[in-house]
Amino acid sequence: MTIEVGGQLPEATFVRMGAEGPELVKLSELTKGRKVVLFALPGAYTGPCSTIHVPSFVRTAADFRAKGVKDIYCVSVNDPFVLKAWGEATGGTAAGITFLGDADGSFTRALKMEFTAPQIGLHGRSNRYAVVLDDGKIVAANVDKPGVCDISVGEALLQKV
């Protein structure tokens, strides 16, 4: 599958940290009847993910909400424990970003967005992309080339909303 305007993302079950611990949530439940942003990146605590990608959505969160976006989701091939700590460390959680684990990478593989960089210890991670979904339909999409972090950042996606 490719990510393109007018398409839909495949159904997925993510894991997130809830009040009682890890909980499963379906993508369709997060997007039904709502306008949301979903962005994906290689991994928690990695260089550009922590210093460029997540901060760009922290900076633009209020602007997205002013344009009718109800929720902002960050997807990574990580477990919910790491994502919870990382969301708190980056300020993403405080900005209202929800961190979702594609723990086994199945969603990433279904999108054909897997990214591997063995020289830095990353295997089966996600390439960077950002989409705006309206009731599950892709209305805006930016996909970076592997190893690049420029068009999938918050500011670039905001221009398309």
Q: Apex CA 109: angle with CA 104 and CA 114, to 5°?
A: 95
Catalytic-labelled residue, pool 44, 49, 77, 158: 49
Which residue has 């009718």 as its token pair? Answer: 68
Catalytic annotation present for 74: no
Residues 32 and 117: their CA atoms lie apart, in Å, by 34
First to last CA, the chain: 23
Beta bridge partners of 141: 131
Q: Apex CA 46: angle with CA 130 and CA 73, to 5°?
A: 30
Residues with catalytic function = 49
